[in-house]
């Protein structure tokens, strides 16, 4: 069966390797399972119900929910009758929802829970023709998605099949609104072919997957990274388990024992920080062994022949120390895919040494998202891998990465002007990322084009490079490097207050409030020492010379982070202007 439309992935699994556990979700302490047959039946019944609500080909249907099987049911049910899925982040704001719903002319929305429903009600309150709202959670007096379900009739199934046959690969499948670090969100139009080009290309380069293998899903399905993974999993016969929440990932990993999962670097950083914290709490010989293994791992180079003595030591380190790391991830991890931001090379090195193989990938919503993907048996730490099948790449004179291929979006919805700004006449998409090729094969991303700034001395500063290095400190949770037009770079730092409490306790410093602690001279001095130590590998003009500590983390709710947790630099710069002015006075 050839994959031409995203819903073909479900039917491919149904025909070739139906699973006892197709989808599963941890809900109120218990796992709820759906086999492949049940999934197909629910999808068809839901499609039939949407036909009853007069959803026509081309109509927009929204999904606003944390990951759960119902998200997948709705996605397939919408797409196989020609509807357009408009996913929205569950942690977004009513204003953001209002813009997307009105801009995309959404007719019906599935909301995950009561909080999301209330935000959507607020967002749609002033609309002349608000969309129909249904919830996944049971809420008193609110339409529930199962109340919408009706048993699909033979005539209904014929209509569904007729609609399926009329859908082509090049047809619009979804509109994904970018979370927007600047300005209004843009609706990225992706066709069935766009998305499947990425999904099928990834299947070709990852290690062989056997039907029945398991994955734990926790990155939002509203983002194209996890969603493209969904179709690859479905096609490959992978059982997909949805984590109960972001707070239960560690527990769910131990329960599910997945063979692989997708993540973002920040979550891997937090895993490592917890491991490191545990190491510091050890005593005597156990502590010595822990840091011996850690230092050994920092010297590891994947696929490079090591000395016999190093190999012997690493074998013991894996048996005594690193085996516990693998157990914490469930004990079955085949590989982990990391994307969405740059992964610290030292982190990747240590995980590879611990036989936890991190495969970095690169792409954007506009590229569906696959551009590059690291190969399991030919890795270059610090790079995001070689190009995926049929993808072309070019580095412009100014270092910007340009991409061309079947993965590149159809354009921005209702914004041909913006589309023409990023896709030139020859079809090259301008990613906005600065990069270089390593060994002419592996892509290395160095920064965002718009985020590089110049000091008053004429030196260019790539802030992400510095920020990634500074986040190696256990005490630093968030950091933004500033200094446009100034003599030197400086940094706004949000401490990891949990780690700071531990440090204060260790040094007999009374912890009062976050606000007070960031003003204490001994705390500021400690952070200054951390930054100075991490500065050492940079040229003099690149080094962060001054810092300011912030008492309040940047959040999505306050508009300082995008829904996928990228910093909105312009917003943070505006709100931190007095602090920044004080740095350079």
- CB 108, CB 61: distance < 8 Å: yes
Structure tokens at 57: 């080909």
**Rounded-to-10 torsion of CA 142, 145, 148, 152:** -170
DSSP 356-401: --EEEEEE-GGG-SEEEE-BTTB--TTS--SBPTT-EEEE-TTSEE
Bridge partners of 547, per DSSP, are 491
Half-sphere exposure (Cβ direction) of 246: Cα atoms closer than 13 Å: 12
pLDDT at residue number 353: 97
pLDDT at residue number 1: 72
Write out the chain's pLDDT in tens, 585 residues.
Answer: 789 999 999 999 999 999 999 999 988 889 999 999 999 999 999 999 999 999 999 999 999 999 999 999 999 999 999 999 999 999 888 999 999 999 999 999 999 999 999 999 999 999 999 999 999 999 999 999 999 998 999 999 999 999 999 999 999 999 999 865 556 789 999 999 999 999 999 999 998 899 999 999 999 999 999 999 999 999 999 999 999 988 899 999 999 999 999 998 888 988 888 898 889 889 999 999 999 999 999 999 998 888 999 999 999 999 999 999 999 999 999 999 999 888 888 899 999 999 999 999 999 999 999 999 999 899 999 999 999 999 999 999 999 999 999 999 999 999 999 999 999 999 999 999 999 999 999 999 988 888 888 898 888 898 988 998 999 898 999 999 999 999 999 999 999 999 999 999 999 999 999 999 999 999 999 999 999 999 998 989 999 999 999 999 999 888 898 776 788 898 999 999 999 999 998
Helices (H) and strands (E) in the chain, counts: 22, 24
pLDDT at residue number 130: 96
Residue 484, C-beta contacts closer than 8 angstroms, at least 6 positions apart: 453, 454
Give the span between the Cα atoms of 574 and 384, in whole angstroms.
32
Give the span between the Cα atoms of 312 and 361, in whole angstroms.
31
Residue-wise over 307-319: b if at least 16 C-beta within 10 A, else e? eeeeeebbeebbe
Sign of the Cα pseudo-torsion (414, 419, 425, 429, in order): negative
Look-up: residue for tokens 């009758």? 81
Q: Where are the domains of the chain?
A: 8-262, 453-583
- Please give the sequence-ordered ranges of beta strands (E in DSSP) within 519-569, or none if there are none: 546-549
Give the span between the Cα atoms of 418 and 413, in whole angstroms.
9
Structure tokens at 149: 């379900």
Give the span between the Cα atoms of 377 and 162, in whole angstroms.
44
Q: Does domain 8-262 have CATH number 3.40.50.12780?
A: yes
Bridge partners of 373, per DSSP, are 361
pLDDT at residue number 182: 54
pLDDT at residue number 373: 97
Give the C-alpha distances (Å, rounded to integers) separating 410 from 174, 227, 313, 332, 429. 11, 18, 52, 39, 11
pLDDT at residue number 180: 56
Peptide bond before residue 92 is cis, with ω within 30 degrees of 0: no
Half-sphere exposure (Cβ direction) of 506: Cα atoms closer than 13 Å: 10
Q: What's the CATH architecture for 453-583?
A: 2-Layer Sandwich (3.30)
**pTM for the model:** 0.88
């Amino acid at each position: 069966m050839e994959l031409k439309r995203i819903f073909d992935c479900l039917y491919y699994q149904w025909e070739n390797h139906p699973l006892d556990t197709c989808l599963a979700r941890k809900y109120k302490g218990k796992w709820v399972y759906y086999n492949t047959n049940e999934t197909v039946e629910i999808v068809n019944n839901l499609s039939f119900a949407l036909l009853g609500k007069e959803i026509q080909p081309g109509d927009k249907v929204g999904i606003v929910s944390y990951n759960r099987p119902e998200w997948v049911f709705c996605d397939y049910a919408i797409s196989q009758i020609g509807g357009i899925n408009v996913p929205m982040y569950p942690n977004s704001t009513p204003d953001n929802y209002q813009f997307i719903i009105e801009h995309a002319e959404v007719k019906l929305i599935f909301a995950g829970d009561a909080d999301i429903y209330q935000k959507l009600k607020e967002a749609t309150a002033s609309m002349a023709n608000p969309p129909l709202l249904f919830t996944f959670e049971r809420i008193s007096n609110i339409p529930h998605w199962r109340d919408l379900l009706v048993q699909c009739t033979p005539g209904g199934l014929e209509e569904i099949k007729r609609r399926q046959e009329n859908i082509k690969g090049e047809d619009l499948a979804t509109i994904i609104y970018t979370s927007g670090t600047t300005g209004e969100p843009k609706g990225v139009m992706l066709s069935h072919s766009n998305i499947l080009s990425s999904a099928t290309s990834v299947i070709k380069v990852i290690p062989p997957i056997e039907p029945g293998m398991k994955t734990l899903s926790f990155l939002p399905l509203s983002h194209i990274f996890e969603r493209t993974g969904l179709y690859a999993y479905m096609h490959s016969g992978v059982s997909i388990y949805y984590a109960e929440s972001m707070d239960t990932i560690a527990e769910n990993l131990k329960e599910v024992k997945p063979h692989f999962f997708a993540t973002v670097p920040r979550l891997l950083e937090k895993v490592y920080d917890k491991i490191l914290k545990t190491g510091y709490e050890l005593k005597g010989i156990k502590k010595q062994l822990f840091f011996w293994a850690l230092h050994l791992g920092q010297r590891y180079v994947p696929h490079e022949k090591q000395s016999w003595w190093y190999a012997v030591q690493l074998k013991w380190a894996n048996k005594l120390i690193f085996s516990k790391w693998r157990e914490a991830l469930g004990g079955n991890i085949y590989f982990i895919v990391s994307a969405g931001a740059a992964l610290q090379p030292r982190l990747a090195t240590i995980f590879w040494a611990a036989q936890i193989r991190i495969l970095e990938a690169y792409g954007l919503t506009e590229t569906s998202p696959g551009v590059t993907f690291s190969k399991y048996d030919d890795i270059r730490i610090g790079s995001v891998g070689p190009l995926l099948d049929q993808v072309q790449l070019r580095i412009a004179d100014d270092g910007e990465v340009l991409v061309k291929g079947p993965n590149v979006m159809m354009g921005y919805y209702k914004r041909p002007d913006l589309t023409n700004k990023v896709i030139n006449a020859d079809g090259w998409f301008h990613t906005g990322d600065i990069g270089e090729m390593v060994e002419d094969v592996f892509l290395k991303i160095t920064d965002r084009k718009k985020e590089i700034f110049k000091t008053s001395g004429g030196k260019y500063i790539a802030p992400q490079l510095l920020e990634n290095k500074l986040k190696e400190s256990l005490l630093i949770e968030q950091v933004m490097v500033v200094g446009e037009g100034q003599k030197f770079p400086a940094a706004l730092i949000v401490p990891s207050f949990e780690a700071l409490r531990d440090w204060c306790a260790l040094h007999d410093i009374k912890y009062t409030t976050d606000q007070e602690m960031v003003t204490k001279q001994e705390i500021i001095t400690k952070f200054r020492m951390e930054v100075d130590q991490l500065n050492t590998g940079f040229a003099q003009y690149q080094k962060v010379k001054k810092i300011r500590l912030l008492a309040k983390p940047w959040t999505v709710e306050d508009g300082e982070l995008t829904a996928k947790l990228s910093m909105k630099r312009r917003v943070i710069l505006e709100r931190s202007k007095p602090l920044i002015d004080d740095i350079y006075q």
